[in-house]
Structure 1
Amino acid sequence: MSSAVEVSVIIVNYKTCELLRNCLRSVFEQTKDISFEVIVSDNGSEDGSVEMVRNEFPQVVLVENKANLGFGAANNRGLNVAKGEFVFYLNSDTLLLNNAIKGFCDYWKGHESENLGALGCNLVDAEGTLTESHGVFPENGKLIKAMMHHLAAFAVKNAMKFLHMDISKLRPVPVYKKFVGDVDFVIGADLFVKKSELARFDENFFLYYEETDMQWRMAKIGLKRRLIDGPRVMHLVRGGRGKMDDVLRYGSFSIIQSEISKVRYTKKNLSKSVSFALKVMILLHWLSPYIFKNTRQYFGVMRSV
């Protein structure tokens, strides 16, 4: 086997020590017959993550960012030191269930003539059920329609919460089907790409939409994004209904960051007027008395997007 590194596995961590430990174990236990390195880019965790990596996985390249730079920026710090021909961006809340890294690498090398830009696989959740693995590029009309529907639904849920009515069953449970073939974009939980400038994220996206933006750039130059059969990866956190109140969850950090990134993505890649309309509608629902204590600190951020 060549001594050159074939794949650099880059894992961003922010206060997920136990998840990270299990993820790293799965990578080293499952990955065989391929030259690889693992890079953990830590965003200033204070939960013992850095010490755990140093003590239990001394072979891991540790990048200490000292602050929470966001998902894309932290991945870029890992990319800066990566030595592999390929890069596998992997969430800390994942587990490899087979020799997935070699599977991705072998597939790419066997399909070099097909203008590949990114690979992923059909993810499963902790129960082994298929979960979100890919997405469709946002479109202006669909974004506006979805946001108007959301505003109306959110107003109804606020009213029901005020009246102490049960709204727990109003949130639909998504059902995902297995898909193999070309997609608009592979989600960032397991994203296999060739190391190049195209593998770099736009750091203006703090959280969410960064992988969508990357693969939008790939699409514009004719590179394919594809889900393949073979690699098996479990994504533990994404896709769960969770126990948070269906109104209060819209004041959570992750939802707020997703909405900021949605506006940023729309302004950058689609339409400034549509991004402005989205911004206004999002700010309106941020005024909800139930989530305003969380959203108020982000009004200035949203206005500047």
Structure 2
Amino acid sequence: MDVSVIIVNYNTCNLVKKCVASIFEKTKNVSFEVIVVDNNSKDGSVEAIIDEFPRVRVFPLKENIGFGKANNIGVKHAKGRFVFFLNSDTFLLNDAISILVNYLDTHESVVLCGGQLFDRERKPTGSYIEYPDLRFFLSLVLRGSVFYKDLPIFPEGEIPYYISGADMMMRKSFIEKYGAFDPDFFMYYEDTELSYRVQSLGFGVHFVPRAHIVHLHDMSPKERGPIISTLDLYVIQSRYLYLKKVMGDVVMKSLLLLHKIKAFIAIGYFVIRRNNEKIENWKKIKKILFSISG
């Protein structure tokens, strides 16, 4: 078998059905299987997928173990030469899977590749992202935001960035030797770490813009609401885990200390300003910061 498509689902019944349907509709020129690992959804996802797509192999879990670990479970059951990690909130616009398979078949030194992502309006969106450096993390801690510069538009081939975890195709032979997603990450930054690890080992990470995929994950902060969410807290937690793994303990602990000091100052400031919403946000941030071990 050429490729195993692995989709992790968590309460995205309608989205994952659209994703799976697009795979069967668009994929023509390679042999493939679809594996859905369900993180204990409560919206009837498992039953709906089994009912509508009998060819899909569904693995329901008893708890939500996170994105990376769930993908790794899918890998254990994968039969393909290649593994295609695909988000449940994506759908294919063309025969993207065949394009990526053929690319890996003709570029033996490439371990990981991804296609061109589009938003819901069919505008190109973040298919590859610049690796976060020390300046990036300092800006997040001190300013609370970061300036994302426009990245150059790369032609087909190797890129110095990391491939979005929304669509990542990898050689299974690499995974069997070096592993897939780092299980320490519950959610976020696991794709960053994986691309970094692949490149650190001397293998290529490539962008294949002929493969077209829509990624619907484009909610703005306004749409998410002013109150910090559980997802935001996962971002903070994974950010420091990535720092520790890539930049080392000293850098991670130094930034973590700065962030803790800022949290105390922010809470005091907003107490004076009587901004209960901001106080609540910063209390949540402080709690997650103090839960992070050095």
How much does 1:86 deviate? 0.1
TM-score using structure 1 length:
0.83
Counterpart in 2 of 1:291? 281
CA distance in 2, matches of 1:236, 1:105: 23
Trace 1:113-192 onto structure 2 (pairs within 5 A): 115-150=109-144, 178-180=153-155, 181-183=157-159, 184-192=161-169
The DSSP-based 3-state class of the residue aligned with 2:158 is strand
Counterpart in 2 of 1:159? none
CA distance in 2, matches of 1:87, 1:97: 19
Select 1:255's aligned residue among 210, 229, 232: 232
- Note the aligned Cα RMSD (angstroms): 2.3
Trace 1:1-305 onto structure 2 (pairs within 5 A): 5-112=1-108, 115-150=109-144, 178-180=153-155, 181-183=157-159, 184-195=161-172, 196-197=175-176, 198-238=178-218, 240=220, 242-245=222-225, 247-248=226-227, 251-283=228-260, 284-285=262-263, 287=267, 288-292=278-282, 294-295=284-285, 298-302=288-292, 304=293
How much does 1:117 deviate? 1.9
CA distance in 1, matches of 2:47, 2:243: 40
Runs of at least 5 residues in structure 1 that lack an aligned partner in the other structure: 154-170
Distance 1:62 1:244, change over 3 A: closer
Runs of at least 5 residues in structure 2 that lack an aligned partner in the other structure: 268-277
CA contact (8 A) 1:252 1:294 kept: no
CA distance in 1, matches of 2:131, 2:150: 19
After TM superposition, the structure 1 stretch with the greater mean CA deviation from structure 2, 70-79 or 193-202, is 193-202
How much does 1:148 deviate? 1.5
The DSSP-based 3-state class of the residue aligned with 2:55 is coil
Question: Between Structure 1 and Structure 2, how many residues are aligned?
Answer: 276
CA distance in 2, matches of 1:6, 1:270: 36
Deviations 1:32-70 (A, max 9, x none): 121000000100001000001110111111111111100
Distance 1:101 1:52, change over 3 A: same
CA distance in 2, matches of 1:175, 1:240: 18
How much does 1:294 deviate? 4.5
How much does 1:89 deviate? 0.2
Counterpart in 1 of 2:272? none
TM-score using structure 2 length:
0.86
How much does 1:262 deviate? 0.8
